[in-house]
């Protein structure tokens, strides 16, 4: 029996909130809701989206109970799912994460290298906070988390909240599968993949037709070798800006280094950091691009809706690509045994990789949570790269817990995209300075 769900979106002021709410409305036959709440610790930011969504929902889903709040008890009481997309430090700090490394000629990226490490040190606190709210007020609820940096957040959950019902998921493989399906003229849900790696650090080893079992890997590789994942048609509601197009294209060079598998686009930061820095504009990074683009568009649309008092012809767009979140919620709620890529503790899924590493692999998701599927042994090239990267992530979490300057310095020095321990130390000192109040104190 399908019941009507109660959902809270944590990070209600996120640029993704309106698109995800619209997506949930579109999927209301598959995922009926009785109540939807927004929760954020920045009341003013959230209120803009909250007020606009209130108008929209009155028009489009009058029976759905809707509210927005900064009060944890109100937000987290009586919910079945917490959909979490918080950004601790908001865009102001993303900008720092990107610009400080660039000062040293190092890649400045939201989730990779020093930027990802800095963001991770901020995110852990916010994530623990909302996990604890969920467990206090709705102990049976599940959190579907896509707050970044997901790899570090997932490792922090493994170590600090091992029994919490938190599922960490990323949309990059979902978006890239859409592109692959476009290349071979199929629908994403007609395909079944095998994949191994860490979050933002992995490879597809198989892309098969679900029904016939036909393997499309070679056909897709042939296309990617020429064009990367750049396709002609709009296949993705996210990842469309010019900088993203360059990223899709760069997959061509990632395939060249490892022609056996199809690469995750994020590998470009690790394999071509010189290219990345060379093509970056240190005065206008991705954070600036998003602030001038997605953030401005979403908040302008919200203000227009509020001003007009109606969302008819209003500018919120459905984020259809986010429907994987509904797939995941349904899999849990209805024991649907859906096959999805999730970030989980390895425990043998990758046979020749550490049991306690948080890896990204296909899982079967039912009401008991995810069951990782065995991906066999991986080649030594990928294994070595992954071990280096997962150790960076583990050191960050240890540094956070122990308040250890030394461990964070080691994490930065070990990161493949930081050239030396000397640069790592200078970077660390700068990052500590701007992250005052966000990071635990390091000794
Ligand atoms: P955003 O800054 O627009 O929104 C984040 C919101 O979180 C802000 O309103 C902020 O006030 C709020 N917030 C910060 N700390 C909080 C806390 N402790 N408690 C409650 N709310 C808090 O950011 P965005 O660009 O919309 O992205 C949101 C998040 O989603 C980011 O972490 C981003 O990296 C992530 N994301 C992940 C994926 C994925 O594939 N996993 C895809 C897209 C975005
Ligand atoms: C992809 C990744 C996310 C990341 C997002 C950044 O979807 O999987 O983890 O947050 O890109 O996109 P942005 O448009 O904010 O640079
Ligand atoms: Mn991601």
Write down the ipTM of this complex: 0.98
pLDDT for residue 2: 56
Residues 363-402 as b or e (16 or more Cβ within 10 Å = b): bebeeebbebeebeebeeebbebbeebbbbbbbbbbbbee
* Ligand 2 contact, 95 CB (< 6 A): no
Domains and CATH numbers, the chain: 5-169+288-372 (3.40.50.720), 173-279 (3.90.110.10)
pLDDT for residue 72: 98
Catalytic residues: 171, 266
Distance 240 CA to ligand 3 centre (A): 15
Nearest-10 Cα torsion for 146, 150, 156, 162: 50
Residues 253 and 270 sit within 8 Å (Cβ to Cβ) = no
pLDDT for residue 94: 98
Residue of 199, 200, 239, 267 to test ligand 2 pocket, by largest number of atoms within 8 Å of CB: 239
Compute the distance between CA of residue 97 and CA of residue 112 in angstroms, rounded to an integer: 10
Strand order, beta sheet including 191-198? 191-198, 201-209, 262-263
Residues 223 and 183 sit within 8 Å (Cβ to Cβ) = yes
Residues in the chain, pLDDT under 50: 1
Percent of the chain scoring above 90 in pLDDT: 96
**Does this model's pTM top 0.90?**
yes
Q: Which two tokens stand for residue 415?
A: 């990161």
Distance 85 CA to ligand 1 centre (A): 4
Beta bridge partners of 8: 37, 82
119 DSSP 8-state letter = H
């Amino acid at each position: 029996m399908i019941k009507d769900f109660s959902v809270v979106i944590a990070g209600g002021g996120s640029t993704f909130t309106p698109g995800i709410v619209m997506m949930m409305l579109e999927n209301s036959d598959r995922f009926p809701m009785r109540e939807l709440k927004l929760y954020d610790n920045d009341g003013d930011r959230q209120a803009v989206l909250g007020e606009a969504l209130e108008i929209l929902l009155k028009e489009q889903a009058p029976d759905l109970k809707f509210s927005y709040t900064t009060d944890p008890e109100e937000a987290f009481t009586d919910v079945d799912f917490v959909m979490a997309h918080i950004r601790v430090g908001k865009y102001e700090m993303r900008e720092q994460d990107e610009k400080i490394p660039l000062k040293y000629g190092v890649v400045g990226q939201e989730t990779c290298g020093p930027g990802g490490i800095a963001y991770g040190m901020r995110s852990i606190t916010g994530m623990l906070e909302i996990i604890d709210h969920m467990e206090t007020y709705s102990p049976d609820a599940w959190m579907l988390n896509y707050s970044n940096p997901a790899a570090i957040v997932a490792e922090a959950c493994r170590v600090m909240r091992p029994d919490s019902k938190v599922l960490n998921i990323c949309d990059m493989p979902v978006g890239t599968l859409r592109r692959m399906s476009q290349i071979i003229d199929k629908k994403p849900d007609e395909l079944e993949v095998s994949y191994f790696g860490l979050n933002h650090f992995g490879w597809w080893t198989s892309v098969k037709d679900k029904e016939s079992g036909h393997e499309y890997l070679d056909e897709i590789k042939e296309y990617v070798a020429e064009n990367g994942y750049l396709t002609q048609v709009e296949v993705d509601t996210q990842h469309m800006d010019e900088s993203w197009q360059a990223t899709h294209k760069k997959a061509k060079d990632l395939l060249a280094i490892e022609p056996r598998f199809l690469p995750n686009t994020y590998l470009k930061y690790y394999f071509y950091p010189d290219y990345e820095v060379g093509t970056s504009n240190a005065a206008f990074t991705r954070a600036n691009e998003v602030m001038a683009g997605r953030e401005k568009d979403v908040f302008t649309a919200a203000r227009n809706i509020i001003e007009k008092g109606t969302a008819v012809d209003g500018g919120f767009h459905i984020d259809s690509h986010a429907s994987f979140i509904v797939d995941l919620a349904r899999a849990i709620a209805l024991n649907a045994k859906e096959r999805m890529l999730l970030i989980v503790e390895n425990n043998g899924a990758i046979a020749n990789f550490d049991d306690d590493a948080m890896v990204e692999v296909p899982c079967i998701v039912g009401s008991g949570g995810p069951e990782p599927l065995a991906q066999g042994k991986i080649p030594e090239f990928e294994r070595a790269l992954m071990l280096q990267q997962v150790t960076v992530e583990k050191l960050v979490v240890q540094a956070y817990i122990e308040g250890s300057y030394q461990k964070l310095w080691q994490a930065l020095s070990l990161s493949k995209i930081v050239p030396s321990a000397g640069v790592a130390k200078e970077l660390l000192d700068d990052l500590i300075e701007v992250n005052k109040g966000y990071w635990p104190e390091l000794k």
